[in-house]
Chains A and B, each alone.
Chain A
Amino acid sequence: MRFSEAEKLALRYSEWMALDPDKIDAAFYAALRRCFSDEEIIELGAFIGFNIGYHTFFGSLKFYPMFAPDGRLVSQEESARIYGEKPVSLQGEATGARPSRPPGEF
């Protein structure tokens, strides 16, 4: 069990905010509060939101890390070969920020 209960909640918060935000309800916030202060929850939530927005934007720009894992400065072509056209982290179930329901009218 490499993740604590608090860490699992934080990971769930992140996954659900991106993929299934309706699951983040009063009960979930109550669970978060057993492990985190309101200040920590705000910090986490804003950080997650920021990353949801930016990872999608950056992903569309199709750029790769400047450095190889061994620290060498590499070209974008070589970086794509090293890190793969599709990163490992995008090959699982969570493959990007997609709303869980059609856009609302409000």
Chain B
Amino acid sequence: MYIEPLKSDEILDPELNALIARAEALGVPDTLFPRILARVPAHAKALLRALLVSHAEGNVDHKLKEVIRVQLARTAGDGYFARLRSAPARDQGLDEATIAAGSGKFEDDARFSAAEKWALRYARELYLNPEKVDAACYAEGKKHYSEAQIMELGAFIAFHYGMQAFARTLRLFPAPGAGSGTPSCVDGEHPARP
């Protein structure tokens, strides 16, 4: 871990603390990444708000977004976000087999609908083969989603991929129990990723 997080009692902004608590309840991110961002409170609040809203709110299924989020983290090579899990998605029935399938050969997997396959393909190609995200790709997407939903998906993908690219360079590792809905952080006890 190249930048130390602030301790909880060093974070005094009530709005920032509320956002950190909301992130902890969601499970993504756990409190480690927010407490590092908290060194720049104004940025931390804007980024956390965007992370939380894009992931947990909107008109695209949260479970699908969660599968996409883990796929993106693996694309970005970020072990921190890849290991975290959304508690609400789990409570809604999302399991590890489905998450793994979303990062694998999802095109041949009957558990995903045509709409979900398009969304997973969109997320994958945007960062691995962006030239394939063309007019034909968007035309296909419009068969399954409204333009508002496509913008919601695109913005979610863009934002999370970018933060994962940043988190990768920080060499973060979730605390034990992170992503399970249980408190994930004890000050000073986050293990550093080797």
A38 CB → nearest B CB, Å? 6
Q: Are A45 and B169 in contact (CB under 8 A)?
A: yes
Q: Are A57 and B74 in contact (CB under 8 A)?
A: no
Chain B contact patch, size range: 35 or more
CA distance in complex: A21, B158 (Å): 17
Contact digits for B7-46, partner A, Cβ 8 Å, 1 yes 0 no: 0000000000000000000000000000011011001000
Q: Give residues of chain A (3-58) contacting chain B, Cβ–Cβ below 8 Å.
A: 16-18, 21, 24, 26, 29, 38-39, 41-43, 45-46, 48-54, 56-58
Q: Are B74 and A46 in contact (CB under 8 A)?
A: no
Q: Are A103 and B77 in contact (CB under 8 A)?
A: yes
Which residues on A sit within 8 Å (CB–CB) of B82?
A: 104, 106
A87 CB → nearest B CB, Å? 14
Q: Are A26 and B2 in contact (CB under 8 A)?
A: yes
CA distance in complex: A43, B54 (Å): 21
Q: Give residues of chain B (141-194) contacting chain A, Cβ–Cβ below 8 Å.
A: 154-155, 157-170
Flag whether B73 is at the interface (Cβ < 8 A).
yes
Of the candidates B83, B133, B162, which one forms a contact with A53 in the assembled complex, judged by CB atoms under 8 Å apart? B162
CA distance in complex: A42, B37 (Å): 6
CA distance in complex: A97, B169 (Å): 14
Of the candidates B36, B43, B47, B165, which one forms a contact with A21 in the assembled complex, judged by CB atoms under 8 Å apart? B165
Count, chain A residues at interface, CB 8 A:
38
CA distance in complex: A26, B168 (Å): 13
Q: Are B166 and A57 in contact (CB under 8 A)?
A: no
Binding-face segment, B88-96, B107-115, B123-131: B123-131
When A24-B169, A51-B162, A103-B74 are in contact, do A56 and B40 touch as well, CB less than 8 Å? no
Of the candidates A24, A29, A50, which one forms a contact with B162 in the assembled complex, judged by CB atoms under 8 Å apart? A50
CA distance in complex: A84, B92 (Å): 47
Q: Are B166 and A17 in contact (CB under 8 A)?
A: yes
- Name B's A-contacting residues (CB within 8 A): 2-4, 36-37, 39-40, 43, 47, 71, 73-77, 79, 82-83, 103, 126-128, 130, 133-135, 154-155, 157-170
Q: Can you list 7 A-B contacts with CB-CB less than 8 angstroms, sorted by A residue number?
A: A18-B165, A21-B168, A42-B39, A43-B40, A46-B40, A54-B159, A60-B154
Closest 9 CB pairs of A and B: A53-B162, A49-B166, A57-B158, A106-B82, A53-B158, A60-B133, A24-B169, A49-B162, A103-B74
